[in-house]
Amino acid sequence: MTQQEFAPPVGEWYYPSEDIVNNAHVPDYEALYREAMADVESFWARRADSLEWYQRWDSVLDSSNAPFFKWFVGGKTNIALNALDRHVKTWRRNKLALIWEGEPGDRRTYSYWKLYREVNKFSNVLKSLGVRKGDRVTIYMGRIPELVMAMLACAKIGAVHSVVYGGFSEQALADRIEDAQSRVIITTDGAWLRGNIVRLKDVVDEAVRRSPVVESVIVVKRTGHEVKMEQGRDYWFHDLVALPIASPICETEVMDAEDPLFILYTSGTTGKPKGILHTHGGYSVYTSTTLQWVFDLKDDDRWWCAADPGWITGHSYIVYSPLILGATSFLYEGAPNFPYPNRWWRMVEEYGITILYTAPTAIRGLMRFGDAWPNRHDLSSLRLLGSVGEPINPEAWRWFHKVIGKERCPIMDTWWQTETGGFMITPMPSVGLKPGSATRPFPGIDVDVVDEHGQSVAAGVDGNLVIKTPWPGMLRTIYGDPERFVAQYWTAYKAQGWYLTGDSARKDEDGYIWIIGRNDDVIKVSGYRLGTAEVESGLVSHPAVAESAVIGVPDEVRGNVIYAYCILRAGFQGNDTLRDQLKEHIRHEVGPIAVPSKIEFVDVLPKTRSGKIMRRVLRARAMGQPEGDLSTLEE
Ligand code: PRX
């Protein structure tokens, strides 16, 4: 199986049952899509009206400085007003907001009231360390409730969080701290993963050594192992939260709709990660609308988005939108197959999960263990399933549909990006499904597949996926680098004013969209987004490596794995010991997710005459395929 190679199954359709369609928030996708497109601004204004505002906006969309679009201009809000404050004034006060299970089996639950109070305390702790509106706070934690609280606490006081996924290591963390200029870090002593402790605090210590802008480190105790605490810099959260200053009452900061909510770093074509910036107003409207309609979220649902809060999926669909909708979310700390491959299915049964949203790599990983593990459990509570992060191969789709969903649960294959804030191309429960296709654009979203001149391509032909009009959840800029924002997303189709997604795709005869994959130097490994340049700069930071090139090669479970080619400096021997050292080096510098599965030592790399590495040639060689046109290859 490769992402690019699976052919769309012809004529394979799955229709949701009448019961599902008739009871859905959106029983007629086509009608809603037409209605939205007839007047996009009033459509989004109506959606924004379903939320609370301190002050209503003056204009829905300001395009005067495109592509720096502004939404709900003049509106005053705070995402925490909608995610917490408004619920504690209603019956939802005593509804469960969060159910959490730790990997070792410990459990906690939070009602909206309890979460609200905990977040207020956390906000006061941050204030006591001098965090103010507009300050950036870096969060580096495992999947525990305090991570959710830390994010909300920042939002509440108007600070801008930058969550760095716990699978990144020293240098990656240091780069992100440096770029955001965070003076405060929130972390944990460690995180549980497959029965082991991931020593997050040690990574923070090293990152802070490399990025001296940090003044304070707040440490939440999770694993309880011995960690070094530096006096005057490091504070245990439990000590701070016990102080009188950490009262459970905290005024929510009134924010402009366009004030920044968070920065989330993601990989692009250069080694420097891009700080994608999202704002309070439009993001609240966009994420809550998409979640409510696509996953048909209702008050009696138990929603499980099995992503990590450290990625956009977790930001939008674990933390913010479920809380805005007043839903009950489930969060699990550890590995899906720990201690046994039935861990997830046991939890679905026990907690009565009704909607499970995960990634193709997780589905393929669990599928490998066979049907007996899920079949031991009562999965009848499930009513909808979802997939995100990379194209789902039809085989995994069918398994998920049959073995997990018992052919009852439609699968929402949601295509979107860190940059888009929320789902862009996705089914809803009233849309017929084809395994492997993300189906149709969300109402209000205008997408197309075009050639390099901007002409729509015919059905079945590959092209660039573009978005033609702005939407409220769109990124506002790349933090500190507006030129890169314009160059990266808005220059390829400048004349038309379209957003370039970086994905290639094709449409079929029915107007369904099939995502093929990235057409830039970004690799999806287990659904995680990595830049080839990040791994390459990690490799050349090792004294033995003079030059390197990495490519993504298709893999059964992980979608892609990384192959690295290295030219060594004089005096170094390319052997297995060095291979292991380089892998260890990458594990430390970039993170475990970036470790190449194969490292090959070479004397030269295929380059164009202008010096650009021809990854296409490397990929063809790695896969034993024809190398194609080599006319631009340097001598
Ligand atoms: O290539 C697309 C792929 O993931 C990229 C975005 O990655 P990231 O910003 O990390 O966000 C992932 C979670 C939203 C896209 O450019 N992608 C995401 N979802 C899908 C997908 N490819 C195919 N089908 C999807 N459902």
Is pLDDT of 5 > 80?
A: no
Residue with CA closest to ligand 1 atom 5 = 417
Ligand 1 site, residue 308, Cβ cutoff 6 A: no
Ligand 1 site, residue 313, Cβ cutoff 6 A: yes
612 Cα: distance to centroid of ligand 1 (angstroms): 26
pTM: 0.95
Residue with CA closest to ligand 1 atom 8 = 417
Percentage above 70 pLDDT, the chain: 98
Atom of ligand 1 nearest to the CA of 515: 23
Most confident of 9-18, 416-425, 552-561: 416-425
Of 11 and 510, more confident: 510
49 Cα: distance to centroid of ligand 1 (angstroms): 29
Residue with CA closest to ligand 1 atom 10 = 529
For the segment 40-61, the average pLDDT, to the nearest whole number, is 98
pLDDT band with cut points at 50, 70 and 90 for residue 8: low
Ligand 1 site, residue 256, Cβ cutoff 6 A: no
Cβ contact 540:494 at 8 Å:
no
Ligand 1 site, residue 439, Cβ cutoff 6 A: no
Residue with CA closest to ligand 1 atom 22 = 390
Is pLDDT of 419 > 90?
A: yes
Ligand 1 site, residue 473, Cβ cutoff 6 A: no
pLDDT band with cut points at 50, 70 and 90 for residue 621: confident
pLDDT band with cut points at 50, 70 and 90 for residue 635: low
Residue with CA closest to ligand 1 atom 4 = 389
Which pLDDT value is given to residue 627? 80
Atom of ligand 1 nearest to the CA of 426: 26
For the segment 34-44, the average pLDDT, to the nearest whole number, is 98
Radius of gyration of the chain (CA): 24
Residue with CA closest to ligand 1 atom 11 = 417
Atom of ligand 1 nearest to the CA of 501: 16
Residue of 276, 283, 388, 474 best suited for mutating to test ligand 1, as the one with most atoms within 8 Å of CB: 388
According to DSSP, the residues that pair with 467 across neighbouring strands are 447, 499
Ligand 1 site, residue 427, Cβ cutoff 6 A: no
Residue 439, Ramachandran bin (φ over 0: left; ψ between -120 and 50: alpha; else beta): left
Residue with CA closest to ligand 1 atom 26 = 415
475: amino acid identity, one letter: L
* Helices 40-48 & 280-294 angle (0-180, nearest 10): 90
Which pLDDT value is given to residue 269? 74
DSSP string, 85-120: ITGGGSGGGGSEEEEEE-TTS-EEEEEHHHHHHHHH
Residue with CA closest to ligand 1 atom 25 = 415
Contacts of residue 610, Cβ cutoff 8 Å, sequence gap at least 6: none
Is pLDDT of 606 > 80?
A: yes
Alpha-carbon gap, residue 19 to 405, rounded angstroms: 16
Residue of 264, 417, 434, 514 best suited for mutating to test ligand 1, as the one with most atoms within 8 Å of CB: 417
529 Cα: distance to centroid of ligand 1 (angstroms): 8
Ligand 1 site, residue 274, Cβ cutoff 6 A: no
Residue of 361, 466, 524 best suited for mutating to test ligand 1, as the one with most atoms within 8 Å of CB: 524
Which pLDDT value is given to residue 273? 85
Mean pLDDT of the chain: 95
- Residue 308 is given by DSSP the state -
Which pLDDT value is given to residue 9? 57
Which pLDDT value is given to residue 624? 87
pLDDT digits (tens, 9 = 90+) for 260-280: 999 999 987 777 889 999 999
Ligand 1 site, residue 438, Cβ cutoff 6 A: yes
For the segment 28-33, the average pLDDT, to the nearest whole number, is 97
Is pLDDT of 2 > 50?
A: no
pLDDT digits (tens, 9 = 90+) for 485-544: 999 999 999 999 999 999 999 999 999 999 999 988 899 999 899 989 889 989 999 999
DSSP string, 218-263: EEE-SS-------TTTEEEHHHHTTSTT--S--PPPPEETTSEEEE
Neighbour-count burial for 332-357, b at 16+ CB within 10 Å, e otherwise: bbbbbbbeebbbbbebbbebbbbbbb
Residue with CA closest to ligand 1 atom 7 = 417
Neighbour-count burial for 73-110, b at 16+ CB within 10 Å, e otherwise: bebbbbbbbbbbbbbbeeebeebbbbbbbbbeeeeeeb
Is pLDDT of 628 > 80?
A: no
Alpha-carbon gap, residue 196 to 228, rounded angstroms: 19
Which pLDDT value is given to residue 3? 40
559 Cα: distance to centroid of ligand 1 (angstroms): 12
Residue of 390, 413, 499 best suited for mutating to test ligand 1, as the one with most atoms within 8 Å of CB: 390
pLDDT band with cut points at 50, 70 and 90 for residue 1: very low
